[in-house]
């Protein structure tokens, strides 16, 4: 009796083995990137572009097959469902890694697409987001010659796994975008991907958002300063003018800290302290270095950097956006929860910046 029951149970357990409901890999198309634009004919509609990688046997072969599809619709969900009837295979979003917002669309309102991004269950939370110029569709159509795996180039650039350009802001994953949209006291900032030609794009600016829409562009120089303030050990070099000659130094280690200081009876200010250790990478006229020159250079470099940082900071502050999260930092360091928000708004009106950069150029490279 007992044995028969066991056998029956075992047979019953075999039933679900008929095969799972997954589709095999040869029945799937992998969406790698999604571009979202405002429709040209109707500003209420979206223009969705999918960049799709077609699975291939051998990843070492340099031939790559990419399909790009564009469709117009009211909502993302609906548009993608409509696109499904234009393909022979199932669209799979499990490997989707990048979402690009067209510039025109980003300047209007991106909340709808962020909501879709976060809510849809097969999309990861670690999707790179960026603004595309002139439109997401055109940027997705760019095919760099160096691309080995379909649609990989834009991911490598945005994630900094490939190039480590100091002009690309830290990856704005979709969860970070949503977190900054919701959070009081910090605003989103996204990299701006521009189309340069049919097979080249350029990422060296960034867009500041006021929660739902793109407001102002940070130029390459300001983007780099933002990165210097936000990330530790940024890989970059800066120029310095000293006694009529030009030098360039390469950063080995960098760290930036700030404090919000509110004196009793004068305007409050944010004090940035930047610590950099560096080495000389280039000098004009093949200068021979001495210890004194290195010290003088360090000092000049610190002063000049302070000026540049100050200029960038006041531009960020004038745009009324807060990509560096000063507001949140103020709230996090004050325990008067009921009044802190108003306090910050008041003092944010007239905020000054003081920058103390401590550049220590320690080495001259492999020659003196």
Partner 1 sequence: MVKNKYIYYLFLINALINVINFVPRGLIAQRFNGAAMAIVVSVPIGLTLMYLCVKMMNKFPGEGLPEILNANFPRLVSKVMLFGHTLFWYFAGLITLVAFVDVTMRYITSDVSPLLIMVGFLVVVCLAIRLTSESILYGLEVLIVINVPIIIYVLFKALLNPMFSWDAVMQVITYSLKAPSYGAIAQATFIFTGYLNLAVFNRVFDKVRIRQLWLIGIFGFLTLVVTVFIPIGYQGTINVERHVYPWFSTADVLRTKNFIIERVLFFFYFTYLTLSLVSSIIHWHVALEMFKGLFTTKEKKKRKIDPEWWMILAFCAAALILMNTNQFVRDRAGLLYLDGRLIAEMILIFSLYLAHKRRRAKKRE
* Min separation Cβ 180 and partner 1, Å: 7
Nearer to partner 1, 117 or 139 (CB): 117
Residue indicated by tokens 């047979």: 11
Q: Which two tokens stand for residue 254?
A: 């960098």
Residue 57 phi/psi, 5-degree rounding, is: -70, -55
Contact between 124 and partner 1 (CB under 8 A)?
yes
Quick one: DSSP state of residue 169?
P
Among 175, 269, 289, 363, binds partner 1 (CB under 8 A): 175
Nearer to partner 1, 209 or 247 (CB): 209
Binding mask 75-114 vs partner 1 (x if CB under 8 A, - otherwise)? ----------------------------------------
Among 56, 87, 239, 333, binds partner 1 (CB under 8 A): 333
Among 11, 14, 17, 20, binds partner 1 (CB under 8 A): 20
Contact between 212 and partner 1 (CB under 8 A)?
no
Number of residues that bind partner 1 (CB under 8 A): 36
Measured distance CA(171)–CA(66) in Å, rounded: 24
Q: Which two tokens stand for residue 158?
A: 């945005």
Nearest Cα to 108, choosing from 47, 51, 173, 184?
47
- Quick count: other Cβ atoms within 10 Å of Cβ 185? 18
Q: Which two tokens stand for residue 46?
A: 């979206």
Stretch that binds partner 1, among 18-26, 143-151, 268-276, 303-311 (CB under 8 A): 18-26
- Quick count: other Cβ atoms within 10 Å of Cβ 359? 24
Nearest Cα to 276, choosing from 356, 188, 360, 334?
360
Nearer to partner 1, 191 or 240 (CB): 191
Q: Write out the DSSP string of 26-37.
A: GGEEEEEEEEEE
Nearest Cα to 327, choosing from 248, 166, 225, 211?
211
Binding mask 278-317 vs partner 1 (x if CB under 8 A, - otherwise)? ----------------------------------------
Contact between 62 and partner 1 (CB under 8 A)?
no
51 alpha carbon, distance to own chain's centre: 19
Stretch that binds partner 1, among 98-106, 172-180, 247-255, 264-272 (CB under 8 A): 172-180
Measured distance CA(93)–CA(111) in Å, rounded: 20
Nearer to partner 1, 105 or 258 (CB): 258
Task: Return residues touching partner 1 (CB under 8 A).
Answer: 9, 13, 16, 20-22, 118, 121-122, 124-126, 161, 170, 173, 175-176, 178-184, 186, 231-232, 325, 328-329, 331-335, 337
């Amino acid at each position: 009796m007992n044995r028969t029951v066991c056998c029956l149970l075992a047979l019953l357990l075999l039933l679900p083995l008929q095969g799972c409901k997954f589709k095999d890999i040869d029945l799937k198309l992998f969406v790698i990137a999604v571009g979202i634009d405002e429709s040209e004919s109707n500003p209420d509609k979206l223009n969705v572009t999918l960049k799709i990688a077609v699975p291939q046997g051998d990843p070492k072969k340099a031939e790559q097959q990419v399909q790009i599809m564009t469709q117009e619709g009211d909502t993302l969900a609906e548009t993608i469902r409509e696109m499904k009837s234009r393909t022979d295979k199932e669209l799979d979003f499990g490997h989707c890694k990048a979402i690009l917002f067209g510039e025109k669309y980003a300047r209007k309102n991106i909340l709808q697409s962020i909501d879709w991004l976060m809510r849809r269950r097969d999309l990861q939370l670690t999707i790179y987001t960026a603004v595309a110029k002139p439109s997401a569709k055109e940027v997705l159509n760019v095919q760099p010659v160096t691309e080995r795996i379909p649609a990989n180039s834009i991911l490598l650039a945005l994630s900094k796994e490939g190039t480590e350009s100091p002009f690309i802001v830290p990856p704005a994953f979709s969860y970070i975008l949503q977190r900054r949209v919701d959070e009081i006291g910090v605003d989103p900032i996204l990299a701006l991907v521009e189309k340069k030609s049919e097979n080249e794009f350029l990422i060296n600016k960034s867009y500041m958002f006021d929660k739902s829409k793109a407001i102002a562009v940070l130029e390459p120089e300001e983007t780099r300063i933002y990165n210097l303030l936000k990330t530790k050990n940024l890989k970059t070099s800066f120029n310095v003018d000293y006694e009529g000659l030009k030098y360039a130094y390469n950063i080995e280690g960098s760290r930036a800290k700030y404090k919000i200081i509110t004196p009793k009876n004068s305007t409050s200010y944010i004090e940035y302290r930047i610590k950099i250790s560096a080495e000389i990478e280039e000098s004009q006229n093949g200068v021979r270095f001495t210890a004194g020159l290195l010290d003088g250079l360090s000092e000049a470099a610190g002063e000049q950097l302070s000026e540049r940082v100050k200029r960038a900071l006041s531009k960020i502050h004038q745009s009324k956006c807060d990509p560096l999260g000063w507001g949140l930092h103020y709230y996090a360091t004050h325990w008067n929860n009921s009044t802190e928000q108003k306090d910050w708004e008041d003092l944010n009106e007239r905020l000054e910046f003081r920058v103390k950069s401590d550049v220590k150029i320690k080495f001259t490279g492999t020659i003196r």
